[in-house]
Amino acid sequence: MRKSLVALAAAGLLASGMLTACDDGADPGDNGDNGAATTPGKTSGKGGIGVILPDTKSSQRWSTDDPRYLQAAFDAAKVPAQIVNAEGDKENFKRLAEGLLDDGVKVLVIANLDSGSGKAVIDNAKARGVSVIDYDRMTLNGGADYYVSFDNEQVGKLQATHLKSCLKAKKTSGTPVVAELNGSLTDNNATLFKNGYDSVLQPMYDSAQYIKGPDQFVPDWDNDEGREIFAQMLKQFPNIDGVLAANDGLGNAVIEVLKEKKLNGRVPVTGQDATVEGLQNILAGDQCMTVYKSIKKEADAAATLAIELYKGNKPVVGPKIKDPESGAYVPFLSQAPVAITVKNIKTVINDGFVTKQALCTKEYQQLCREAGIK
Ligand code: BGC
């Protein structure tokens, strides 16, 4: 119990008063699989913590940041973990879960591909007495034991607020036409981001300060499809003045289309995830902003919860968030997103999220210097 409290405090969760540990009497680590003897991070063959990430294409984070920070947290706690990726395939997602459960994982951490397949996995886990943490994306009507994410409406608000500033700075003549390229309808986060940005943009449309342009969801956050959708949008509305793109991948798809028309840099585009590509687009003046979500904080929070559950504790987390479909209240650990523009781009380097080498490649060295990255 003492150990668990130390771990929670280390993750900054106790200090924030969001999480307390409840010992249910089980011996820490006594899960019957002798986890302590297992090499950290190596597949144990039985037991441990299983993590399923959604894909490797919709955002850089799923193949690099999330696995790296989650693995580090499990390694530090010497808890065996298997981190796998469904590569965008819902059947594969379910198969991977089946495999991990057959392996005897004690806890499952999932970032779903859609709520239907997510729920099937949660039902399967529950039938075997395994706790589930929804990671980053809530499985609607899923019934996970915990949800760890960001304030996703705030992500959208930051995007729209900065798009407004960028449009103002561009001094577009006439009333700006704003297009929205949303994430995947199957991802509850995409809905929350949109709720957030529309709460800022709708009043602008209503008061005729902006003209509402095309507004479309991109299936599976697919960047190639995003490019095609935006190319169509621009064909129909050649006078688009600003684009609310839901993440850096979609933002880059938009920028590629704008580049073909030599419109890049003139039409502000938003993003999310502080990917190297998104940050370089900001340095080049092609992208207005991105949203930095500290994946380390999110991964640490999820790993800390998972480790407590693995040890047989039942962490008490507050506040709770309502699952809009089932009406159930799910214990929720939330982190704050940060808007990044060229002015504070250094933040992501200072935070160790992106290295200077990765960002300031030859082509971007001068722009990095101008942005104050030493
Ligand atoms: C995540 C974003 C990511 C998007 C596409 C969302 O659920 O919150 O960080 O860009 O999925 O993978």
Q: Which long-range contacts (CB under 8 A, 24 or more apart) does 222-225 make?
A: 222/57, 222/58, 223/57, 223/58, 223/249, 223/250, 223/252, 223/253, 224/253
The CB density around residue 259, as the number of other CB atoms within 10 Å, is: 12
Q: Which two tokens stand for residue 282?
A: 């900001």
| Per-residue pLDDT tens digits for 146-156 | 999 999 999 99
Give the position, in ligand 1's atom list, of the atom nearest the Cα of 249: 10
Å from CA of 59 to ligand 1 middle: 7
Q: Residues 289-333: pLDDT tens digits?
A: 999 999 999 999 999 999 999 999 999 998 999 999 999 999 999
pLDDT at 26: 34
Going from the C-alpha of 217 to that of each of 44, 61, 183, 194, 226, the distances in angstroms are: 40, 20, 5, 10, 9
134 lines ligand 1 (CB under 6 A): no
pLDDT of res. 171: 77
CA-to-CA separations, 196 to 29, 151, 153, 275, 367, in angstroms, rounded: 41, 10, 4, 21, 31
Answer for the pair 41, 83: CB distance below 8 angstroms, yes or no: no
CB of residue 189 inside a 6 A radius of ligand 1:
yes
Q: How far is the CA of 264 from the centre of ligand 1 (A)?
A: 24
Would you list the DSSP string of 37-57? GSPTTS--SSSSEEEEE--SS
* Ligand 1 pocket test, candidate residues 58, 139, 158, 195, most atoms within 8 A of CB: 58
Report the atom number in ligand 1 closest to the C-alpha of 136.
Answer: 8
Coil vs helix vs strand at 112: coil
Q: What is the pLDDT of residue 318?
A: 81
Output the pLDDT for position 344. Answer: 98
Nearest CA to ligand 1 atom 9: 273
Q: How far is the CA of 190 from the centre of ligand 1 (A)?
A: 8
> How far, in Å, from the CA of 31 to the mean position of ligand 1?
33
Mutate to test the pocket of ligand 1, among 189, 217, 223, 270 (most ligand atoms within 8 A of CB): 189
Residue 345 one-letter amino acid: I
pTM above 0.85?
Answer: yes
Residue 23 CA to ligand 1 center (angstroms) comes to: 34
- H helix runs in 128-187, sequence order: 152-170
Confidence (pLDDT) at 37: 31
Q: 185 C-alpha vs ligand 1 centroid, how far in Å?
A: 12
- Is residue 59 lining ligand 1, measured as CB closer than 6 Å? yes
Q: For the chain, 374 residues long, give each residue's pLDDT as a single digit of tens.
A: 333 333 343 344 433 334 544 333 333 333 333 333 333 333 445 689 999 999 999 999 999 999 999 999 999 999 999 999 999 999 999 999 999 999 999 999 999 999 999 999 999 999 999 999 999 999 999 999 999 999 999 999 999 999 999 999 997 689 999 999 999 999 999 999 999 999 999 999 999 999 999 999 999 999 999 999 999 999 999 999 999 999 999 999 999 999 999 999 999 999 999 999 999 999 999 999 999 999 999 999 999 999 999 999 999 998 999 999 999 999 999 999 999 999 999 999 999 999 999 999 999 999 999 999 98
Q: What's residue 46's pLDDT?
A: 62
Mutation to probe ligand 1, out of 53, 272, 276, 298 (largest number of atoms < 8 A from CB) = 272
132 CA distance to ligand 1 middle (Å): 20
- Strand, helix or coil for residue 260: helix
Ligand 1 pocket check for 58: Cβ under 6 Å? yes
Which atom of ligand 1 is nearest the CA belonging to 272? 10
Q: Are 254 and 281 in contact (CB under 8 A)?
A: no
- Atom index in ligand 1 nearest the CA of residue 189 equals 7
Task: Give the tens place of pLDDT for each residue, 340-362.
Answer: 999 999 999 999 999 999 999 99
